[in-house]
Amino acid sequence: MNQAEIVERRENVMTSLLRGHSTSQIVRVIMNAHGVSKPTVERDISYCYDQIKKKYQRDLPEVIATHIGKYEEIHKAAMEMYDFRSAIASLQAIEKLLKLHVEQPLVLLQQNNLNLENLSLDELQRLLQAS
């Protein structure tokens, strides 16, 4: 098999992956279309996943910086339009993105279950007196 055929086969695999086709479906279609073995298609799938990771992998700080920049643009535009509700919402979105606040429920319910079936009356009394 020449290099052009391999490139074409991998492009077909990549297209199928990006369209959300299942691995078994990709294997079946590529095996029939290109006359290659299952392990060959599986290697192509692994190769394509690696290429997707390399192309779309971004550092978390870069993503956060991009989002903060967008929220700041929204804040500026909202202030220019005197839309203070949206301006505050954009600032809150930045705070949430940076995890500046711990979100806790106002009321924290805890459920403690005690299994008292195997305790005698004396043991129950001692436990109640100790608490």
User: Residue 110: which pLDDT band, with cuts at 50, 70 and 90?
Assistant: low
Q: Is the entire prediction scored with pTM above 0.75?
A: no
| Mean of pLDDT over the chain | 87
Question: Tokens 């996943």, residue?
Answer: 49
Taking Cα atoms as reference points, which of 29, 23, 25 lies closest to residue 49?
Answer: 23
| pLDDT for 23 | 93
pLDDT tens digits for range 53-75: 888 777 788 889 999 999 999 99
CA 67 to the chain's CA centroid: 16
